[in-house]
Amino acid sequence: MTQHTFSIIKPDATKRNLTGKINAVIEDAGLRIVAQRRIHMTEAQAKRFYEVHKDRPFYGELVESMTSAPVVVQVLEGDNAVARYREVMGATNPEQAAEGTLRKLFALNVGENSVHGSDSLENAALEIAQFFSPADIVG
């Protein structure tokens, strides 16, 4: 089934000029980038985006890191795109990420792990709606 998922190329990756290399891995995996914008997230946007983690000990550092430099927000389209992109990203902690995954290739540590991808179809729709309007998505 064709799905849309939401992706973020995080500050640790944009700072190291890795946007193109990450996009190449995404495209080589058969996912199509159907919307993309570079933004500097505000504190309010980052807090809202990661609200589910607000009681976790790393929430403050996560919000600080997500607002420390520009990010690239994206909508990815493909067959089973939500689960597929989670596979392409690899485990949250790069020490546990499989060979060839984005986090194995590029992440610095469990916090600065280069990419975000939605964890369910329902969250994908909510996350896409936080950053894109339907007209932005050109499939």
Residues catalogued as catalytic: 116
Using rule CB under 6 A, residue 92 touches ligand ADP: yes
Distance (Å, whole) CA 26 – CA 102: 9
> Please, which residues bridge with residue 4 across strands?
77
Q: Contact letters (x/-) for ligand ADP, 56-85, by CB under 6 A?
A: --x---x-----------------------
**How far out from the chain centre does Cα 105 lie?**
15
Distance CA 84, CA 78 (A): 8
Closer by beta carbon to Mg ion, 22 or else 82: 82
3-class DSSP state for residue 137? Answer: coil
Interacting span for Mg ion (CB under 5 A) from 2-10, 61-69, 71-79, 117-125: 117-125
CA–CA separation, 127 and 4 (whole Å):
11
Name the binder of 92 from Mg ion, ligand ADP, none, CB < 5-8 A by kind.
ligand ADP
| Chain residues in the site for ligand ADP (CB under 6 A) | 53, 58, 62, 92, 110-111, 113, 116, 119
